[in-house]
Chains A and B, each alone.
Chain A
Amino acid sequence: MSLSAQTAEEIIYKMEQNESFSSIYYEGVMSIHRGKNRPVSVKTFKVFSSGKDRTFIEFTNPADRGTKYLKIKDELWIKGPYAEEATKISGHLLRENMAGSDFSYEDALENEKLLELYEPYIEKEEIVNERNCYRIVLKSKIKNISYPKRIVWVDKEKFFPVKVELYALSGVLLKEMNVVETLDISGYTLPVKIRMENKQRIDNWTFFEMKSVKINIPLDSKLFSKQQLER
């Protein structure tokens, strides 16, 4: 019986621990590919996050400079650089993709623990993206869930998600996320270069990078307020 024999729950738990910091700051870059005939668009932004339910994002690339987003629990607000008040994004707009990437607003709003939503089981161990991984299938255990099935390849050594597949209820693969690079910081292993692909459209993917990552820094809670957004 090897010491490393772990249950699926334990593995997922460890993976999520790797993502649970009391706060995080980073500068993000997204390169968005929308099919062969359209140009690649690049977005840069600053992210401030406190726990998992409060996040403040400010875009810094020239085209979107000054656009801010605020997520508080399950509400998402936007304020453009030349807007004088914030607008809540609700209803169908939440299904839209953030800044045109392959991450939807809903994806961004996700803040529940996987173990509360899914029943995991280890399917097998395999090598993915040159890493030894547990292939864990997550089947939903509640009904109200966006992706009823996920498959996560968790790195055996460092417990970060190497690859994630998101499925529709019918079993059709909707999105595929591959971690290309990680960063070891303050005891956490953080994926800092991710490729997200929309499997329902041809040649559509987003490359996401986290730079200048700072973990567990003190953040003023006033930052996560509508007033701050509207300043």
Chain B
Amino acid sequence: MSFLLTLAFKNLSRHKKRTIFTTIGISVGIALLIWMDGMLRWADNESKRNLIRYEFGNFVLSKVNFKLDRDNFPLDKLMDFSAVKQIINKAEKEDLFCSPRTGFKVVLNNKRGFGLFYLVFAVDPVRYAKTLYVAKDIVKGKWLSEESMGIVISKNAAKDLDVKIGDTITIETKTKYGSFQSVSVTVEGIFDADDPSVNRNQAFVSYKFSDTFFQTESSASEIVFRSVNEKDEPFLSKMKDFINSIEVKDLVFSTWQELGADFIVLSKTKRAGTKIMIFFLFIITAIGIINTMLMAVFERIPELAMMRALGMKDNFIIFLFLLEATGIGFLGSTLGLFMGFFLNLWGVTKGLDFTGMVKDMDFGYRTGTVFYSEWNPDTMLLAFFFGIFCSVIVSILPAKKAVDITITDALHYQ
């Protein structure tokens, strides 16, 4: 056995150039595969992460009636402050970040006669900053403080309304009790979130502001929860148990999967589709391998005949080829892995910057404008073994053919 190994190794080093070229072929294919998969995986996971980090946390608590009519953010179906306080206290003991929020459908306008529709969330500024990421994405001004009486809007809104930090805009809406309200508010902060749907139409004020002007009395449409490790369980079960134990009734939890359902469906189908693209990549890589192995086999037929004439068994010869194929595959896969690793590293740290190219770009993914990659050790491993596997499989048939010829014919083979 070790004899065959040594022989295989020697053969590979004899045909250095062939080995090198095949290796390069395999490695490029594998590297690209790893890189593309890394990027798509990132886009998909990032979108899911953003659903959690920007929109819904891991799950959201609200009244049952509220959830049924969530699109309208009805103000007569809120949870009152005492209930909210109770729930938040419990949640924070369980390693959950959480914050209440109350949504108002408003018109924001800068000049009289021209207003645009937005969803303003009254939030607990300190808690919201810990629970959802939008507070981290402030690009101008600052995020709300508990005492804030200003508003934080998105970069898109600032552009549409033509305002900057310190400018005043008017909020037109109805309060929790149905009273018309028209309030001037100063723009305190401008954010540029990584989630385009938040950028599109969300704005934020503190509960102090909404208690003063919207009569919220710190009651909440929803409580948003995000766990420390961003997993749903066991936190969701714990909270469900807690809710069942307290007197507040008619409450229901909604997970981010539920609320972000339309994206989830999308992502499943997208993954399937992109797999097909990757498949094509494989094909081309495989061709390179096939090609090389075939050539390798056929040109060595006389040499093999010699060995067979000297007594080497056919099976040994086939095995020898397979070893060489494994060797090439291994080299190619290793090099590919190496290259893929660096491509991924670049993708993870620097990424592809699409900022400035499109404003409200919507690929269907909830990501920012810089496209990163993600580490995908499973794909890397898979690709690695595929490279080797492919090489071996592809060599079996030619190897067999090589020993089918009678020795005498083979010796004359040219």
Q: Do chains A and B touch in the complex (CB under 8 A)?
A: yes
Q: Which residues from chain A sit less than 8 Å from chain B, CB to CB? A: 35, 91-92, 95, 140, 143-148, 166, 168-170, 172, 174, 200-202, 204
A145/B178 in contact, CB under 8 A: yes
| B144-152, B180-188, B269-277, B289-297: which lies at the interface | B180-188
From residue 136 to 183 of chain B, which have CB atoms closer than 8 A to chain A?
170, 172, 174-175, 177-183
Q: For A148, what are the chain B residues with a Cβ–Cβ distance below 8 Å? A: 179-180
| B179 in complex: contacting residue of A146, A200, A202, CB < 8 Å | A146
What is the chain B residue whose CB lies nearest that of A204?
Answer: B113
- Main secondary structure on A side of the interface with B: loop
What is the chain B residue whose CB lies nearest that of A91?
Answer: B72
B182/A200 in contact, CB under 8 A: yes
Q: Nearest Cβ in chain A — how far from B367, in angstroms?
A: 31
A170/B112 in contact, CB under 8 A: no
What is the chain B residue whose CB lies nearest that of A142?
Answer: B177
A168/B72 in contact, CB under 8 A: no
B180/A174 in contact, CB under 8 A: yes
What is the chain B residue whose CB lies nearest that of A203?
Answer: B113
| A169 in complex: contacting residue of B112, B170, B175, CB < 8 Å | B175
Q: Is B118 in the interface zone, CB < 8 Å from A? A: no
Q: Nearest Cβ in chain A — how far from B22, in angstroms?
A: 66
A172/B183 in contact, CB under 8 A: yes
Q: Which residues from chain B sit less than 8 Å from chain A, CB to CB? A: 72, 105, 112-113, 170, 172, 174-175, 177-183, 213, 215
Q: For A35, what are the chain B residues with a Cβ–Cβ distance below 8 Å? A: 113
A200/B178 in contact, CB under 8 A: no
Q: For B172, what are the chain A residues with a Cβ–Cβ distance below 8 Å? A: 200
A95–B174 CA distance with the chains assembled, in angstroms: 10
Q: For B112, what are the chain A residues with a Cβ–Cβ distance below 8 Å? A: 200-202
B177/A144 in contact, CB under 8 A: yes
A-B pairs with beta carbons under 8 Å apart, 11 shown: A35-B113, A91-B72, A92-B72, A144-B178, A145-B177, A145-B178, A148-B179, A168-B183, A174-B182, A200-B182, A201-B112
Q: For A95, what are the chain B residues with a Cβ–Cβ distance below 8 Å? A: 174
A92–B75 CA distance with the chains assembled, in angstroms: 12
A120–B177 CA distance with the chains assembled, in angstroms: 20
A145–B181 CA distance with the chains assembled, in angstroms: 11
- The 3 A-B residue pairs with the shortest CB-CB distance, nearest first, are A172-B182, A143-B177, A168-B182
* In the complex with contacts A146-B179, A147-B179, A169-B105 CB distance below 8 A: no
A140–B178 CA distance with the chains assembled, in angstroms: 12
Can you add 6 more A-B contacts, CB < 8 Å, to A91-B72, A148-B179? A92-B72, A146-B174, A170-B183, A172-B183, A174-B182, A201-B113
B113/A170 in contact, CB under 8 A: no
A169/B72 in contact, CB under 8 A: no
Q: Nearest Cβ in chain A — how far from B78, in angstroms?
A: 13
Q: For A91, what are the chain B residues with a Cβ–Cβ distance below 8 Å? A: 72
Q: For B183, what are the chain A residues with a Cβ–Cβ distance below 8 Å? A: 168, 170, 172
Q: For B113, what are the chain A residues with a Cβ–Cβ distance below 8 Å? A: 35, 201-202, 204
Q: For A174, what are the chain B residues with a Cβ–Cβ distance below 8 Å? A: 180, 182
A91–B175 CA distance with the chains assembled, in angstroms: 14
Q: Nearest Cβ in chain B — how far from A144, in angstroms?
A: 5
What is the chain A residue whose CB lies nearest that of B175?
Answer: A169
Q: Nearest Cβ in chain B — how far from A51, in angstroms?
A: 23
Q: Nearest Cβ in chain B — how far from A140, in angstroms?
A: 8
A33–B149 CA distance with the chains assembled, in angstroms: 36
Q: Nearest Cβ in chain B — how far from A198, in angstroms?
A: 10
Q: Which of A147, A168, A172 has the most CB of B within 10 A?
A: A168
Q: For A143, what are the chain B residues with a Cβ–Cβ distance below 8 Å? A: 177, 179, 215
Q: For A172, what are the chain B residues with a Cβ–Cβ distance below 8 Å? A: 182-183
Q: For B175, what are the chain A residues with a Cβ–Cβ distance below 8 Å? A: 169
What is the chain A residue whose CB lies nearest that of B176?
Answer: A143
Q: For B179, what are the chain A residues with a Cβ–Cβ distance below 8 Å? A: 140, 143-148, 168-169
A86–B230 CA distance with the chains assembled, in angstroms: 48
A92/B105 in contact, CB under 8 A: yes
A143–B105 CA distance with the chains assembled, in angstroms: 20
